[in-house]
Structure formats: C-alpha cells, structure tokens
Structure 1
Amino acid sequence: MTGLLTISDLEAVFLTGGPDHACEWLATAREKAARDKDELRTLFPAAARACGRAPLPDGWRTDDAARVLLLASFPWPDLDLLLSLYTDGDADEKRAVLLALDHTGIDLDDRALPIVEDALRTNDTRLIAAALGRYAARHLSPPAYRHAVLKCVFCGIPLAAVSGLDERADAELARMLSDFAAERVAAGRAVPDEVWPILARFPVPWSL
C-alpha cells in the first residue's frame, strides 16, 4: 500500500517515527535543494546514511520517506534531474523516485513512463510494486497495465499494491488471469486468492 499514502500522511509518520536527527537532516536538505537543485545529486543518495532504514507504517522506511519528502518539496523546473536520480541510483534510490511520481506536484503527463517501464522489466519486487502507483494507473497503456498486473501475480506481489485495479481491470485481464489460473491448477499449484475476484467480475467461458 506504499503508493496510497499522501504527502501529509508521510510527513506525519516520518516526524513521529523517524529519529530526531533524521528530521533535522531533512529540513537542512530541503533548504540546500531550494538554493541549488544540483545539491539533490548528493543529498538523495545520502538519505539512507543520514536517516537510516527504520520501518515506518504501510511498508515505508525512513530513507524512503526522506527521499520522497525531499523531492515532493522541490519546485521542479523540468524532469531531467528527476529521471537522472532514477537512472544513476541504486535500487533503493530508484524505488524512492518511483514512489515520488505520485507526489512531485508537477504535471508529468507520460514523460516519466520510461522509468516505470524500466522498473516493470526487472525482477525486483520492491521496484515493481513501487512502479505501480497512481501515476502508472493513469498513464500505462491497457496492454502494459495488464501485463504489469500479471507480473505481480507471477512474482507474488499483493495486488493491493497496484493502484487503479478496480477501474482498469477488464475482460482481457480476466482472460489472462484465467489462463494463468488454469496453468497453476494443471501443475498442482495454488492460485493466489486475489485472482478470483477479478475473474468473478469478468466471467469468461474458459475460466475455472
């Protein structure tokens, strides 16, 4: 459920769940970034060392929260720096950029789709889940969205992590999930419980 938190929610859990020095670091980092956006290239990777990786509610950690709050507070003049933070970052930094797509405060239209698509090509379940926030639900094409949902089922990622599923599930997705379920049953393997509600919404002749 990481992508469903609002910035106000995230700020509250960070201020109450993070150590005092983490809150002080974030305030200073925001000031530095406001003066010079290129400071983000140093501040963004430094968040883990400065704030730690302590768990917060809804699957967040203090380093996730610090990075997203830092990006969300910044008045972005363009997208280039945001995308470079993803491209040049490690897995945790990439995840934070993906989580921040819902919170940047600017109209990204479909310009950030390349990094969402990059994350969906990986086998890193944390990146895949982070990529499927509200931004992806709005901008992924129907085929790309369906394949992302199917990949979540294959990888054991809870579908609760996928934004927009109630609105974007359709008969074609049900067909794909029905084929998946049939293969699992034929192999004597369990079908994830989350598949059945979608099949029930869109009955197809070959569903189980």
Structure 2
Amino acid sequence: MSKTKTSPVLYQADIYEASSFLKSLVEKHVTPQAQQWLSEKTAMLSSETAQPKDLYLAFSAAPRFVGKDKLALTAQNLETANTIRTGFNPSHWSVAQAARTILLLSFPHQNPDDFLATIEQLFNTADMGELVALYAALPLLPHPESFKKRAAEGVRTNMGDVFEAVALDNPYAADYMEEDAWNQMVLKTLFVGKPIYRIYGIEKRVNPKLARMLSDYAHERWAAGRTVSPELWRSVGPYLDANLLPDIKKLFEQPNELEQQAAALACSQSQYAPAKELLNEHAALKERVTRGELTWDLIGNRHLALN
C-alpha cells in the first residue's frame, strides 16, 4: 500500500492555472497598490533576465505589501484548488503565503538544476514565515520530485508552524515522501497533539512498520499513565494481527466512547478473522460503522474539540 521504493509519480500542477487562481484570491484581500506591486514583481520575475536575488527580495518583502490576513475561501475555491492539484488545500493559508507562492511560480524553471538551487537558497536563508510559505507551496512547484529531502528535513524541525506546513493539508508528503520520513511525520503529528485527519493521504500510505511504531508509542504512553489519541489507530487497523489485536481489545474496554469507536473502525479495516469476530461482539458499534455514522474524520474532529 505504500509508495516508497518505486519511481515517484509526478503530480505536476499547471503553473499558469495555479498562479491565476492564487492571484484571484489575493486580489480580493489587498489594495490596488498591493495588486500593482505584485503584478510588477511577477512580470519582472517572469522575464529572461530575472535573477535569483530578484526573487529573494520580492519573496521577503511580500507581507509588507499584501499583509498577513488569512485567506477567506469558499467551498468553490477549495474545489477549484483540488482541481488544479489533487489534494491542494489552501484553507489555512495567509494572503502573504499566496503572494509568495505566486512569486515562486513566476520564476523561470526551464532548467531544473538552476531552479532547485534558487529555491534551496531560499530555504537556507528563510525565517519561519518564509519557511511556512515554502513548505506549503511544495505541491505546486515545478520539478516537485526534487524536494523530497527538503520535505523530510521539514518533518524534523522544532518549529511548530513549519512542521504543520509540511504535515497538514499538504499532499506533497503523501505523494513523494520516503516511507521512513512519512512514518516519522505521522508519529510526530500525534506526539505534538495535531490532528491526524488533516494529513492528506493518510490511508494510502499505511504500512506495517508504521502500525508497529504506533502500537509501541501507545504502549509507552499507557505505561506512563497517559492516554493516546484515538486517531492513532487509523494506520493500525489494516495490519491487525495476533500482536496488535490486544491493543484493540483494550480500547473496547475503555470508558472513553471515542476509543471504543476507534476500536470498531480499526477492526472494520482489517481482514484478520479474529478482528472481524471482535467487531461482531460489538454489534451496535459495527452497525454504526456499516451505516457510515462513524468515520475517522469524525473521531478526529471530536477528539480535537475535547482537547
């Protein structure tokens, strides 16, 4: 189920479409003067004479001209974003992020090595806000396969906002990240208390190593008298076996309703006969799963609301 050893599948967004879409969003939030500034900078960066320093200066200056307000997006905006690039979700982006991404997409990218070197230099000198914009923009950038190591580095950061830009609402990780980096990202998301349901592609990147890691993490938490997020079991269910099933039995025995629901969903994901039998023993929960009343996203949202 995991895409790790094979050649990367290219998910290249249409640069013009992405830029036009983001520009339409920015224009709703900024002054005519800011629009003019952005138009001038994109025109300059699109020219054959554009230099990396031109991008660096404009990228750094963008918030001063367009502001840092959050984008106000409609459901139609989000549908359009997903059409431009599957999984692209700018619902938590700021106006400055969108403007910075437009600048990135304006810079010449015909030479992959030159483009990569330019973006890498931006990463190396960026402050936190700039890093957030860079990591969130990865799924839209030309030559996306070139940034796998950079994305893995983002997972290791101690800056919470930067980690979220890599891990949450960003399809890049699911599409390109190596298995070990992906697994560390999922585990860290739980460790820092962020919602798993906002990790794009969480189902398609399940793997047995991650299931074991998550079980070990749960045991460490339990041994210390602590709880674990019921979302943890989302990547465990498909790999239930004799070693992992006792964890699910423990969940069914908990007074916490969300943990019981997570146990039922985990069993419903499994082809392991004892897991199916265990779910049959909890008929009411099984019926709710069958009717679609219980989902991982619902559990994640409820857990987040309670914590």
Q: Which band: TM-score by shorter chain?
A: 0.7 to 0.9
Give matches, 1:118-137, under 5 Å.
118-132=153-167, 133-137=170-174
Q: What TM-score comes out, normalization by structure 1 length?
A: 0.85
> Who is 2:119 aligned against?
82
Cα 1:146–1:89 change in 2 (3 A) is same
| SS of match in other structure, 2:200 | coil
| SS of match in other structure, 1:75 | coil
Which amino acid in structure 2 is aligned with residue 47 of structure 1? A
From 123, 143, 164, the equivalent of 2:180 is 143
Give matches, 1:9-24, under 5 Å.
10-24=22-36
What's the offset of the Cα at 1:44? 0.5
Instruction: Please say if residues 45 and 108 of structure 2, whose CA atoms lie closer than 8 Å, have aligned partners that are also in contact.
Output: no
Q: Deviation per CA, 1:35-73, whole angstroms, max 9, x where unpaired? A: 313310110000111111111242111111110122123
Give structure 1 stretches of 5+ with no counterpart.
1-5
Moved more, 84-93 or 138-147: 138-147
What's the offset of the Cα at 1:162? 2.4
Q: Deviation per CA, 1:82-116, whole angstroms, max 9, x where unpaired? A: 11111111111112111221112x2232x322322
What's the offset of the Cα at 1:16? 2.1
| SS of match in other structure, 1:168 | coil
1:70 paired to 2:103: yes
Higher Rg of the two aligned structures = 2
What's the offset of the Cα at 1:9? 5.2
Distance in 2, Cα, partners of 1:197 & 1:152? 13
| SS of match in other structure, 2:203 | helix
> Who is 2:55 aligned against?
40
Give structure 2 stretches of 5+ with no counterpart.
1-16, 73-90, 249-307
Distance in 1, Cα, partners of 2:232 & 2:200? 16
Which amino acid in structure 1 is aligned with residue 116 of structure 2? L
Distance in 1, Cα, partners of 2:38 & 2:230? 40
> Who is 1:168 aligned against?
205
Instruction: Please say if residues 174 and 201 of structure 2, whose CA atoms lie closer than 8 Å, have aligned partners that are also in contact.
Output: yes
Cα 1:174–1:56 change in 2 (3 A) is same
Cα 1:28–1:181 change in 2 (3 A) is same
1:203 paired to 2:205: no
What's the offset of the Cα at 1:30? 0.3
> Who is 2:69 aligned against?
54
> Who is 1:25 aligned against?
37
Instruction: Please say if residues 45 and 106 of structure 2, whose CA atoms lie closer than 8 Å, have aligned partners that are also in contact.
Output: no
Which amino acid in structure 2 is aligned with residue 137 of structure 1? A
Same amino acid, percent of matched pairs: 30
What's the offset of the Cα at 1:19? 4.2
Q: What TM-score comes out, normalization by structure 2 length?
A: 0.60
Moved more, 43-52 or 181-190: 181-190
Which amino acid in structure 2 is aligned with residue 29 of structure 1? K
Which amino acid in structure 2 is aligned with residue 107 of structure 1? H
From 98, 102, 107, the equivalent of 2:143 is 107
Distance in 2, Cα, partners of 1:83 & 1:20? 32
Give matches, 1:89-104, under 5 Å.
89-104=126-141
| SS of match in other structure, 2:28 | helix
Give matches, 1:152-167, under 5 Å.
152-167=189-204
Instruction: Please say if residues 10 and 65 of structure 1, whose CA atoms lie closer than 8 Å, have aligned partners that are also in contact.
Output: yes
Which amino acid in structure 2 is aligned with residue 178 of structure 1? S
1:192 paired to 2:192: no
Distance in 2, Cα, partners of 1:174 & 1:137? 16
